[in-house]
Chains A and B, each alone.
Chain A
Amino acid sequence: MEYWINDKPANTPTLQHSNRPHEHRTSNIQHRTLNCFAMDQGLRNELQKQGVFMTTLEELYNWGRKNSVWPLQFGLACCAIEMIATSMARYDLARFGAEVFRPSPRQADLMIVAGTVTKKMAPQVVRLYNQMAEPKYVIAMGACAISGGPFKQGYNVLKGIDRYLPVDVHIPGCPPRPEALLHAFMTLQKKIAGQHLANTHQARHPDPGAPSEFAVPKYGAHDLEPPKNTELWRAPASERKGL
Chain B
Amino acid sequence: MLPTLEQIKMRLEAAVRGARVEIIPNDSPSGQRSLLADREHAFAVAKFLRADPELRLDYCSNATGVDWPEMEIPEKIKVKQTVAGVEKEVEQIRKTRRPGFLEVVYHLYAMEKKHGPVILRVRTENRADRVQVPSLTPIWRSCEFQEREIYDLYGITFDGHPDLRRILMWDGFQDHPMRKDYAAPDDYEYEPTPHDEVLERAKRHYSKRGAAGIE
Query: Which residues from chain A sit less than 8 Å from chain B, CB to CB?
Result: 119-120, 153-156, 159, 219-223, 227-228, 234-240, 243
Distance between Cα atoms of A86 and B69 in the complex (Å): 49
Distance between Cα atoms of A130 and B164 in the complex (Å): 33
CB–CB A223/B168 < 8 A: no
Residues of A with C-beta under 8 A to B199:
243
CB distance from A118 to the nearest CB of B (A): 9
CB–CB B168/A156 < 8 A: yes
Q: Is the interface of A mostly helix, strand, loop or mixed?
A: loop
CB–CB B172/A239 < 8 A: no
Q: Which of B101-109, B113-121, B155-163, B179-187 contacts A (4 or more CB under 8 A)?
A: B179-187
Chain A's closest residue to B183 (CB) is A222
- Let me know if B211 is at the binding interface, CB within 8 A: no
Query: Which residues from chain B sit less than 8 Å from chain A, CB to CB?
Result: 168-175, 177, 182, 184-185, 187, 189-190, 192, 194, 198-199, 202-203, 206, 209, 214-215
CB–CB B174/A159 < 8 A: no
Residues of B with C-beta under 8 A to A154:
184
Distance between Cα atoms of A78 and B202 in the complex (Å): 30
Q: Which of B171, B189, B194, B198 has the most CB of A within 10 A?
A: B189
Pick from A222, A236, A238, A243: contact of B185, CB below 8 A: A222
Q: Is the interface of B mostly helix, strand, loop or mixed?
A: loop
Distance between Cα atoms of A119 and B187 in the complex (Å): 12
Known: A153-B198, A238-B190. 17 other contacts (CB 8 A): A119-B170, A155-B175, A155-B177, A155-B182, A156-B168, A221-B172, A221-B175, A222-B174, A222-B185, A223-B185, A223-B187, A227-B185, A234-B215, A235-B189, A236-B190, A240-B192, A240-B194
CB–CB B206/A239 < 8 A: yes
Distance between Cα atoms of A240 and B209 in the complex (Å): 13
CB–CB A221/B173 < 8 A: yes
Given A156-B168, A222-B174, A235-B215, A228 and B203 touching (CB < 8 A)? no
Q: Which of B185, B199, B206 has the most CB of A within 10 A?
A: B185
CB distance from A120 to the nearest CB of B (A): 5
Q: List 21 A-B contacts (CB under 8 A).
A: A153-B184, A153-B198, A154-B184, A155-B177, A155-B184, A155-B185, A156-B168, A156-B169, A219-B170, A219-B172, A221-B175, A223-B185, A223-B187, A234-B215, A235-B215, A236-B189, A236-B190, A239-B209, A239-B214, A240-B194, A240-B202
Residues of B with C-beta under 8 A to A220:
172
CB distance from B187 to the nearest CB of A (A): 5
Chain A's closest residue to B189 (CB) is A235
Given A120-B169, A227-B185, A243-B202, A222 and B175 touching (CB < 8 A)? yes
CB distance from A76 to the nearest CB of B (A): 15
Distance between Cα atoms of A101 and B173 in the complex (Å): 34
CB–CB B169/A159 < 8 A: no
CB–CB A243/B206 < 8 A: yes
Residues of A with C-beta under 8 A to B185:
155, 222-223, 227
